[in-house]
Structure 1
Amino acid sequence: MASRDEIESYTNTLLEVGRFRDYGPNGLQVEGKAEVRRLVSGVTASRAFIEAAIADQADAVLVHHGLFWRGHDGRITGWLKQRVELLLAHRVSLFAYHLPLDAHPELGNNARFGARLALEADARFGEQDLGFIGSPQEPQALAVLVERLQQQLGRGATVVPGDGRPIRRVGWCTGGAQGYFEAAIAAGADVYITGEISEPQAHYARETGVAFVACGHHASERFGAPAVAAHVAAKFGLAHRFIDIDNPA
């Protein structure tokens, strides 16, 4: 058992939350019980996830996508009211970490995603150094890398193949980081992997020869939250479980 405040202080320090300019508040977003015995992690604080965590007798939840974002008008109505109401009624604390959870060099989304592909970053790129870049053990065909990626995630990917060059440098950034493609190209990537694709990226891939792969926002961000939560649980002697709510995005 540990105090809610101890957990927040430790996790904020671990993830260096003060270092990031983010789209919403990092750390404790909804205050629940003062003492925590059971921690449940997930990708997004959806109602389905909150309900599953309550059924699992969670005292606190830790997610990547929390409830409050820059530009929200502040009203607790509709779907947001339903989620907050569940948390408050069952006294479940909500911890949310967005960019800090992406960036952690060992436990973050990008680090754990890279490990799935046997990649370790040796450099960073993009705004706030969120993009990772590294080399496979030996050059490989794009098709080999994509096959491994799809096996690891259990889903297909959208691939714009570029010019067919051997893959010597892989750039990646999980989630909705398609806007980092140009920075990945400038950093020397032969392929860039992220969660989503928008209209411009296909043209950049065809014109520069650098391949672009979109493998799903949710699918690419399933690894950081459970890694951080498992670390925190081990630190404080808590029970921990990761609950994945399927999302086609």
Structure 2
Amino acid sequence: MANLEELKNYCDNYLNVNKFKDYCPNGLQVEGSSKVNKIVSGVSANLELIEQAIEEKADAIFVHHGIFWDNESKTITGAKRNKVALLLNHNISLFGFHLPLDDHPEVGNNIELGRRLGIKNMTPVDDSLLWQGELKTNISDFLKLIEDKLNRAPQIYGAKNQEISKIAWCTGGAQGFIDDAIKLNVDLYLSGEVSEKTPAAAKESNINYIAAGHHATERYGIQALCSHLCSKFKLQHKYIEVDNSV
């Protein structure tokens, strides 16, 4: 069991949240019980996740995508009101960690995805959320591996070159970093989503681009974080998958 304030402070320090200029609050977003024994994790603070956390009698929920975002209304109405009301009525805390969780070198989304895909010599790119590493594979086998590990068929664009030895990646909606990836002289850039201009950017620069799913690429950091917290604070933990095809 953990004290909520102690858990909050530990997470803020462990994930170095003050390092990041983000467009959402990172850390404790909704305060619940002062004592935490059971935690639930998920990718996003959806109503379905909150309802299942209530059924699990969780004291706190940990997500990558929280409830509050800078580009949204500051009023608590509609669906947001319903979610906040459920959390308060059941005395459940909500923690959200966005960019700090993407970037973390031990439990982050990027390094956790790299581990699952067998990427070697993984290193973060300076002054960026990008990571880079090495592979010894071909595009056909790599696509099959992604589908097997992420349970989602990836989309491929660009040159569709067969041999892959150098890769850059960033989970989630990071397709806009493709120009930075091209500068690294990689064979392949992987992210979660694709924009209208991404296929042409990949093709014109003679690299592969894979969109493996925003949700699918960001399942693993939050689970790794909660596993770490369980070992640190002796908590119970359950990851809940709320299906999202994007």
TM-score of Structure 1 vs Structure 2, range by shorter chain: over 0.9
Give the 5 Å matches for 1:50-65: 50-65=50-65
Residue 244 of structure 1 and its aligned partner are, at CA, apart by: 0.9
Give yes or no for the alignment of 1:149 onto 2:146: yes
Give yes or no for the alignment of 1:134 onto 2:140: no
Q: Matched residues in 1 for 2:73 and 2:243: separation?
A: 28
Aligned to 1:201: 198
Aligned to 2:106: 106
- 1:185 pairs with one of 165, 175, 182: 182
Q: Contact between 1:125 and 1:183, CA under 8 Å: does it hold in 2?
A: no
Deviations 1:156-196 (A, max 9, x none): 11101415152110111110000011101101211011100
Deviations 1:205-237 (A, max 9, x none): 111111000011101100000110110121001
What SS is found at the alignment partner of 1:135?
strand
Aligned to 1:71: 71
Aligned to 2:30: 30
User: Normalising by structure 1, what TM-score?
Assistant: 0.96
Aligned residues: 246
- Matched AA of 1:17: V
Deviations 1:127-162 (A, max 9, x none): x421110002x3x21111111111101111110141
Give yes or no for the alignment of 1:246 onto 2:217: no
Residue 73 of structure 1 and its aligned partner are, at CA, apart by: 2.2
Q: Matched residues in 1 for 2:122 and 2:112: separation?
A: 14
User: Normalising by structure 2, what TM-score?
Assistant: 0.97
Q: Contact between 2:41 and 2:223, CA under 8 Å: does it hold in 1?
A: yes
Give yes or no for the alignment of 1:7 onto 2:4: no
Instruction: Give the number of the structure whose residues are more often strand, by fraction.
Output: 2
Unaligned runs of 5+ in 2: none
Q: Contact between 1:233 and 1:240, CA under 8 Å: does it hold in 2?
A: yes
Aligned to 1:170: 167
Residue 72 of structure 1 and its aligned partner are, at CA, apart by: 2.1
Residue 71 of structure 1 and its aligned partner are, at CA, apart by: 2.2
- Matched AA of 1:58: A
Q: Contact between 1:61 and 1:92, CA under 8 Å: does it hold in 2?
A: yes
CA RMSD of aligned residues (A): 1.2
* Runs of 4+ in structure 1 over 4 Å off: none
Q: Contact between 1:8 and 1:28, CA under 8 Å: does it hold in 2?
A: yes
Residue 100 of structure 1 and its aligned partner are, at CA, apart by: 0.3
